Amino acid sequence: MAHQFRLNRRDLIRAGGFLTLSFGIAGNLSHAPAAEALKLAGDLEDTPLLSAWIRIGADETVTLMIGKVELGQGAVTAVAQVCADELDIDLKRLRMISGDTALVPNEGVTAGSQSMPNCASAVQQAAAEVRHILMELAAEKLKAPIASLTVEDGTLRGEGETKITYWELVTGRELERKATGKVKPKDVADYKYIGTSVPRLDIPAIMTGQALYIQEQRPDGMVHGAVVRPPTYKAKLKKVDTSKVEKMPGVLKVVRNGSFLGIIANRQDQAYDASSALAKDAEWDVEDDLPGDEGIFDWLRSAPMRDEEIINETAGTQHAPARVLEATYERPYQMHASIGPSAAIATLADDGMLTIQTHSQSVFETAKAIARMLGLDPAKVRCQHIPGSGCYGHNLADDAAADAALLAVEMPGKPVRVQYTRPQEHKWEPYGSAMVVKTRVGVDDSGNVLTWNLELWSTPHGTRPDGEPGNLLSARYLAKPFEMPVPENGGPPNYAADRNAIALYDFPAQRVVTHFISEMPLRVSSTRSLGAYANVFAIESTMDDLAHAAGADPVEYRLRFLKDERARDVLRSAAQKFGWEQWSKAEGRGRGIGFARYKNFAAMTAVAVEIEVNRKNGRIRLIRVVAADDSGQTINPDGIANQIEGGVIQSLSWTLKEEVRFDKTGVLSEDWKSYSYPILTFEEVPPIDVVLIDRPGEPFLGTGEAAQGPTAAALGNAVFDATGVRFRRIPFTPKRILAGLKA
Amino acid sequence: MISFRLNGKDVSVDAPEEADLLYVLLNDLKVNGSKLGCGRAQCGSCTVLLDGEAIRSCVTPTKAAEGLEVTTLEGLTTDGRPSRLQQAFIDEQAAQCGYCTAGIIMEAHALLERNPHPTDADVRSALQGNLCRCGTHNRVVRAVLRAANEA
């Protein structure tokens, strides 16, 4: 987690309004007086060497090297747009390298909606400085003042016919200089790519079946690995008879290391067949101490916990409340549920170098954890990011990398590809934590908030590899097992369990207490928006209850306490596009709205939903959704719209349908069946309108997770509007709706 | 040895008869247009065309393809150029991670073959067995309708 905290510090600075990019000075830097070091933009602060980011090639291309990776969120295209604009080159000249630990700056984890604020901002500043260096060099060669030069697609022109290109100017170590922070990026008006919906660079390959994903890499001599997971989390392997499986077709090796069991086979299907057979030939000691999906919320309220008051502002309290409203909200464990089971390819070369191709979000820290697990020199482990199926947080990508590595060292020289089965992906991924959130609000005679209290109970939201073998699943089952480190909660300003637990509203008094439980009945880690999903659901449902109790319109009621002008614009835009004021209620129909500013400093998003409830069968039909979003300066409008649409749909799916089933022994949800772990389908997805509010000149704000909380709340509020019954436990299954309507 | 036509070419593959078509396509024949999603015919990621009909290759034994025509996502292109349906997906930017998209395009291709002018509801009904986790459903439906309208 240490790295995330470093990222946090910068976000705090940005949230406070100190925009580092605005300190630029014009003129010839080499004659500028020595000044104290300026704060560099985003991840440039950690890797200030310009040549670590940008290479100018003799072949008239530019190579941009970034530590953030493509997860299907369009980040690589957006960063490319920023680079091409700032360098004044055609986008076609740009080659992108991302997420190769041997080649790119260490930008930590691609997570937390931080690729735009930290990577795009760094690239913007780096490109601006590179352009400036090139202009200085050109000015010297062309014997013309910098101010007289123009640049177009890498060609600099002086007076008359004189010109010179980037590719002529850079012949050696010209870019081996540190960023100064003194060069000002372009004016907003001069952007060509930023602010336009440049098509994603990788989409044609996706649509025509070019080899793109880790699952489609087939290095020469590749063999296939599979693992046998224990029947439960803490099971210990008593004995296993490997003799039968060793004789199965195509089986090259059976690997046993403590309670870790693996297969290496010629074919993928043979590896799966052998691992199924081996699972039957293994005997385990099995525990049965889990609270189960029905018992988890009581368990959360009674487990050993650490209490922390994260805010207690009582300065505005003047009067005793006339009334107090209290409510408790419950969020079950929910899955990332990637469509493609996680995969990786590892190869141990003759020179002792272990290369792992992985769709990990954290190539650097995962490489380090794997090196330590295997007792290898970290310099001998290289991770290369290759796209996989979308992950939406920390799923099994890193574990697949570790398992491929564990098998690859058993068969030196052979690339070993591991891809999990569907049940393995469902049952062993680290889920989004179950949570309980309780609100207690004192209001005055008019129903306005006087005192706002929120308490939350949660297990961890971050168990990423972070260089620690104990965070890799299989490392815990080895003959010499690695202990899992005790996870920490995330602190301000990002927070983790308590992300968005502090309401953005301006209440006279606000107190928030986090009850952090480090014990984990089910494996958990970062899942899109972390605690913000449950916290915003609770806050925005409570606001709806308060508006109702006050006899106020839910939009108008929120605006009483929402002071930030941009936030108010977002809320009003969603309501206007939805037709909030003109809306009239039809039988069975309901509407709801929800708002949050992600992490209270990233993108601002409001979501309005219209639904219909069938009182006979308890089914909710999604009629339509409108979302409004302010992500600061827009780099790629369609990219943002795609993230908002996707976030809305995923959150509707979580909130309507999703809950990890488990009993006292282990997880029962092992596939997509309706009683197992269903997700929203094509016929259930409603039309979604997205309103984008562009803020030219403002910092880039991350969007990827912004819709999760507001959508859940809007849906709950719409169900309340339709039925008069408040549902506070997610998901809103037909069974729960029917029970609620009868109660 | 099992023989069939793959994307317009005769192929013979020395694979175990009981191996499911998905693994033979992906690993022996090195095509990318069929993805492993669930292995249980629940998600549609592995969808290919068998004599024009959309099937789930993850539960189809390879020997079932003997003598028939198998088409994968690559097979819809002409000289590397995307088909009208593929181009509509590009134009609509109808993907995020894109892992489920290959199977969706195959299912949609089969739909347009039997119903060249589907409604929004027809498209959703045809794709009901294809799961997408990124939430690109509406873009996908727009892409299929665009391809139909441009036909």
Q: How far is B91 from chain A (nearest CA, A)?
A: 8
Give yes or no for B119 touching A (CB within 8 A).
no
Instruction: Give A36's pLDDT tier (boundaries 50, 70, 90).
Output: low
- In chain B, the residue whose alpha carbon lies closest to the alpha carbon of A640 is B96
- Could you tell me the sign of the dihedral formed by the alpha carbons of A138, A140, A141, A142, in that order? positive
Give the DSSP H/E element, type plus range, for residue B148. Answer: helix B137-150
**Residue type at A9?**
R
pLDDT tens digits, B38-68: 999 999 999 999 999 999 999 999 999 999 9
Residue from the list B32, B39, B95 with its beta carbon closest to the beta carbon of A203: B95
Whole-number Å distance between alpha carbons of A560 and A546 = 12
- Cβ <8 Å between B138 and A687: yes
> A16-20, A139-143, A169-173, A717-721: which range is least confident on average?
A16-20
* Confidence check: pLDDT of A615 > 70: yes
Instruction: Give A25's pLDDT tier (boundaries 50, 70, 90).
Output: very low
Residues of A in contact with B127 (CB under 8 A): 682
- Cβ <8 Å between A642 and B37: no
Q: Are A469 and A369 in contact (CB under 8 A)?
A: yes
- Cβ <8 Å between A642 and B26: no
Helices A532-550 and A554-561: angle between axes, nearest 10 degrees: 110
Domain CATH number, residue B38: 3.10.20.30
- Residue found under tokens 């946090």: A8
Give the DSSP H/E element, type plus range, for residue A217. Answer: none
pLDDT at B105: 98
A-proximal residues of B, 35-64, CB under 8 Å? 35-40, 42-43, 45
pLDDT at A37: 61
Whether residues B32 and B91 share a domain: the answer is no
- Cβ <8 Å between B73 and A337: no
Domain CATH number, residue B129: 1.10.150.120
Q: How far is A636 from chain B (nearest CA, A)?
A: 12
- Cβ <8 Å between B45 and A339: yes
Q: How far is A529 from chain B (nearest CA, A)?
A: 14
* Confidence check: pLDDT of A730 > 90: yes
* Confidence check: pLDDT of A486 > 70: yes
Mean pLDDT throughout A48-56?
96
Size of interface A-B (CB pairs under 8 A): 177
Helices A532-550 and A637-657: angle between axes, nearest 10 degrees: 80
Closest by CA position to A234, among listed A489, A518, A577, A519: A519
CB atoms within 10 A of CB A280: 10
Whether residues B9 and B65 share a domain: the answer is yes
Whole-number Å distance between alpha carbons of B51 and B62 = 14
> A23-27, A50-54, A515-519: which range is least confident on average?
A23-27
Residue of A218, A224, A269 to mutate, interface with B, max B Cβ within 10 Å: A269
- In chain A, the residue whose alpha carbon lies closest to the alpha carbon of B97 is A72
Whole-number Å distance between alpha carbons of A207 and A199 = 13
Whole-number Å distance between alpha carbons of A221 and A23 = 54
> A11-20, A559-568, A625-634, B126-135: which range is least confident on average?
A11-20
Give the DSSP H/E element, type plus range, for residue A224. Answer: strand A223-228
pLDDT tens digits, A95-128: 999 999 999 999 999 888 888 899 999 999 999 9
Whether residues B7 and B71 share a domain: the answer is yes
- In chain B, the residue whose alpha carbon lies closest to the alpha carbon of A223 is B27
Residues of B in contact with A218 (CB under 8 A): 27, 30
Q: Are A487 and A494 in contact (CB under 8 A)?
A: no
Q: CB-based contacts of A318: which residues, under 8 Å, 6+ apart? A: A450, A508
pLDDT at A160: 84
**Residue type at A138?**
A
Residues of B in contact with A337 (CB under 8 A): 133
Residues of B in contact with A211 (CB under 8 A): 32
Q: Tell me which fold the domain A2-203 belongs to.
A: Aldehyde Oxidoreductase; domain 4 (3.30.365)
What DSSP character marks residue A433? P
Residue from the list B42, B73, B141 with its beta carbon closest to the beta carbon of A209: B73
The mean of the pLDDT values for chain A is: 93
- DSSP E strands in A479-619: the ranges are 509-516, 589-597, 604-613
Give yes or no for B130 touching A (CB within 8 A).
yes
Mean pLDDT throughout B7-36?
95
Residue of B96, B120, B140, B144 to mutate, interface with A, max A Cβ within 10 Å: B96
Q: Tell me which fold the domain A303-333+431-461+496-742 belongs to.
A: Aldehyde Oxidoreductase; domain 4 (3.30.365)
Residues of A in contact with B89 (CB under 8 A): 203, 207
Q: Could you tell me how many helices (H) and strands (E) chain A has, helices first?
A: 17, 24
pLDDT at A56: 96
Three-state SS for A527? Answer: strand
Whether residues B92 and B119 share a domain: the answer is yes
Whether residues B146 and B90 share a domain: the answer is yes
Whether residues B105 and B71 share a domain: the answer is no
Q: How far is B13 from chain A (nearest CA, A)?
A: 13
Residue from the list B30, B43, B101 with its beta carbon closest to the beta carbon of A207: B101
Q: What is the CB-side half-sphere exposure of residue A629 using CA atoms within 13 A?
A: 34
Whole-number Å distance between alpha carbons of A649 and A112 = 19
Give yes or no for B111 touching A (CB within 8 A).
no
Task: Tell me how many domains chain B contains.
Answer: 2
- Cβ <8 Å between B137 and A200: no
pLDDT tens digits, B66-117: 999 999 999 999 998 999 999 999 999 999 999 999 999 999 999 999 999 9
* Confidence check: pLDDT of A19 > 60: no
- Cβ <8 Å between A199 and B93: yes
Residues of B in contact with A206 (CB under 8 A): 95, 98, 101-102
Residues of A in contact with B97 (CB under 8 A): 71-72, 339, 387-390
pLDDT at A29: 36
Whole-number Å distance between alpha carbons of A22 and A247 = 68
- Cβ <8 Å between A337 and B82: no
- Cβ <8 Å between A682 and B141: yes
- Assign domain A214-286+342-419 one CATH number from 3.30.460.80, 3.40.50.10490, 3.30.365.10, 3.20.20.60: 3.30.365.10
Domain boundary among B54, B75, B96: B75
Residues of A in contact with B36 (CB under 8 A): 215, 340-341, 419
Residues of B in contact with A339 (CB under 8 A): 35, 37, 43, 45, 97, 99-100, 131-133
Whether residues B146 and B95 share a domain: the answer is yes
Residues of A in contact with B100 (CB under 8 A): 339, 389
Whether residues B6 and B67 share a domain: the answer is yes
Encoded tokens for A568: 């108010």
Residue from the list A270, A645, A682 with its beta carbon closest to the beta carbon of B128: A682
Q: How far is A199 from chain B (nearest CA, A)?
A: 7
- Residue found under tokens 């593929």: B86
Whether residues B46 and B15 share a domain: the answer is yes
Binning chain A into helix, strand and coil, the percentages to the nearest 5 are: 35, 20, 45
**β partners of residue A589:** A612
Burial class (CB in 10 A: 0-12, 13-18, 19+), B77: middle
Q: Are A669 and A333 in contact (CB under 8 A)?
A: no
- Cβ <8 Å between A339 and B100: yes
- Could you tell me the sign of the dihedral formed by the alpha carbons of A425, A332, A465, A233, in that order? negative
Whole-number Å distance between alpha carbons of B138 and A739 = 32
Domain boundary among B27, B48, B75: B75
Residue of A203, A207, A215, A334 to mutate, interface with B, max B Cβ within 10 Å: A207
Residues of A in contact with B136 (CB under 8 A): 642, 645-646
Residue of A682, A690, A711 to mutate, interface with B, max B Cβ within 10 Å: A682
Ranges of CATH 3.30.365.10 domains, chain A: 2-203, 214-286+342-419, 303-333+431-461+496-742
- Residue found under tokens 């905290």: A5
Whole-number Å distance between alpha carbons of B60 and B58 = 6
- Cβ <8 Å between B96 and A74: yes
- Could you tell me the sign of the dihedral formed by the alpha carbons of A620, A622, A626, A627, in that order? positive
- Cβ <8 Å between A267 and B19: yes
pLDDT tens digits, A682-717: 999 999 999 999 999 999 998 999 999 999 999 999
Closest by CA position to A722, among listed A636, A620, A652, A643: A620
Q: CB-based contacts of A701: which residues, under 8 Å, 6+ apart? A: A113, A116, A117, A601, A602, A603, A604, A630, A631, A632
Residue from the list A197, A215, A645 with its beta carbon closest to the beta carbon of B138: A645
pLDDT at A201: 93
CB atoms within 10 A of CB A150: 11
Mean pLDDT throughout A328-342?
98
Residues of A in contact with B90 (CB under 8 A): 199, 203-204, 207
Residue of B77, B91, B97 to mutate, interface with A, max A Cβ within 10 Å: B97
Q: How far is B34 from chain A (nearest CA, A)?
A: 9
What DSSP character marks residue A702? -
DSSP letter string, A263-319: EEESSHHHHHHHHHHHHHTEEEE------HHHHHHHHHHHS--EEEEEEEE-TT--S
- Cβ <8 Å between A650 and B134: yes
* Confidence check: pLDDT of A17 > 70: no
Whether residues B39 and B101 share a domain: the answer is no
Closest by CA position to A113, among listed A535, A520, A706, A645: A706
Give me the percent of chain A exceeding a pLDDT of 70.
95
pLDDT tens digits, A661-674: 999 999 999 999 99
- Altogether, the residues listed in chain B come to a count of 151
Domain boundary among B56, B75, B94: B75
Whole-number Å distance between alpha carbons of A586 and A605 = 27
- Cβ <8 Å between A209 and B74: yes
Structural domain boundaries, residue B135: 84-150
- Cβ <8 Å between A340 and B45: yes
Whole-number Å distance between alpha carbons of A252 and A327 = 58
